[in-house]
Chain A
């Protein structure tokens, strides 16, 4: 866990954003850059207001956001939960690791798009292949993080718990699990990032809902203003989700690294 950023660095952060904004206004206002490449701030605002009030293709914007979030949470939730449970067992017992490691190691570096088509063939074009794709993206990341967390558990602490009378299950529950918690949360954060990135790919699969689909669809009609708004929403939501996990991390594993 890094030290909090000193407050005097804030002007620098705000500064870069301000410079970018000025360049944007100048480039679009002077007519140097066509609107299809880069919409002006005013266009973007109008497009954003229009999306909020009118929705996109017969659906309110919040529906699209909701669909995307639901898929992320379903895929990430199931993948991270099952992956963590599997990783804990893999770290705790060598034979369980030997049983599952080949699949996990193969799946983890595999680009999600590589098996997307298989999922469509197997599961059709509904919600199932989308959520399954996100699930498979989260699972190996969470599993490896949890396994490594278990393996990093301090041996003296395990010995201490045993001499205090803890059974094997109690050692697992009261020492191994909390020892692995920092790694599990880091794994969850990594998995969420990957799932979020995979979301767009998942939503390209037929359908007419979700932020990813909205961006792809708007791009097809060269509505770059809508693409920009979509990208902005996805980006800001991504930052918010990540911050939330960091907050949870600080609260739950306040002892980590100390």
Chain B
């Protein structure tokens, strides 16, 4: 698997604690996907989906198995893998522009070049006119857009998102989904997107991975065609398409009832 796939989890297990109280967050998970995929991972809380992201991000070393990107094993964090968290986790002492330029700044990109890169992404996420403001002056949706711009300004090959729109209201979330999708379509980025929203996963992903808890396992992986269609058709049309509704219900069934009974 690791030879063929751009991102490959091979028999990855993660155990927290020891002995009686040990929790198996991931149990022999194998998952591979190609460059440019948009992989959405869904599942109930406690199914290990965040652990899956943490292992790829380099926050968490696997207890067993290995994770590789483009053939080389992941050890620790790296700027090739940008992360957007549920909490925007912006730097409140920096301006909007300062936040967007943080990655290039710590990586030694020159002042002018990083300002240009920050401007490019701030314009795309619609925050350019707020460049001199501070994060606490922005709304929740704008803060999350800035977190996205901050991650993208580093030009990551892989973008990892951990329920990034979970704290937003429904309307803002929908707008953010569309923006994210158009950014992804215009790039060669590979995205791993963690969510508990089934509709979100089916709408955004080229692949939908369903996980189940205790121990955290992948129970199904489905291809979703809608990520490529949404741009041309508009998200409301896509989400009311019978094929979309059917796939959504199938995923929901897998989460609620497990692989044995779903679809019967």
Contacts and interface: CB of A to CB of B under 8 A. Distances in A.
Interface stretch (B23-31, B100-108, B176-184): B100-108
A113 to B, nearest CB: 40
A163 B58 CA distance: 9
Interface in A205-229: none
Interface stretch (B3-11, B80-88, B200-208, B223-231): B80-88
Interface string A157-184: 1011111111100100011001001000
A154 B92 CA distance: 11
A114 to B, nearest CB: 39
A156 interface: yes
A170 B102 CA distance: 11
A250 interface: no
B85 A160 contact: yes
B244 interface: no
B93 A161 contact: no
Given A163-B83, A165-B78, A258-B136, A157 B89 contact: yes
A164 B93 contact: no
Contact of B77 (A162, A175, A181, A255): A162
Interface string B34-71: 00000000000000000000000111000000000000
A254 interface: yes
Contact of B83 (A160, A174, A178): A160
A252 to B, nearest CB: 9
Contact of A156 (B58, B87, B102, B135): B87
Contacts of B81: 163
A165 B87 CA distance: 19
B212 interface: no
Given A174-B102, A258-B136, A181 B93 contact: yes
14 contacts: A157-B91, A159-B89, A163-B79, A164-B79, A165-B106, A167-B106, A174-B105, A174-B106, A254-B134, A255-B134, A255-B135, A255-B136, A258-B92, A258-B136
Interface of A: 154, 156-157, 159-167, 170, 174-175, 178, 181, 253-255, 258
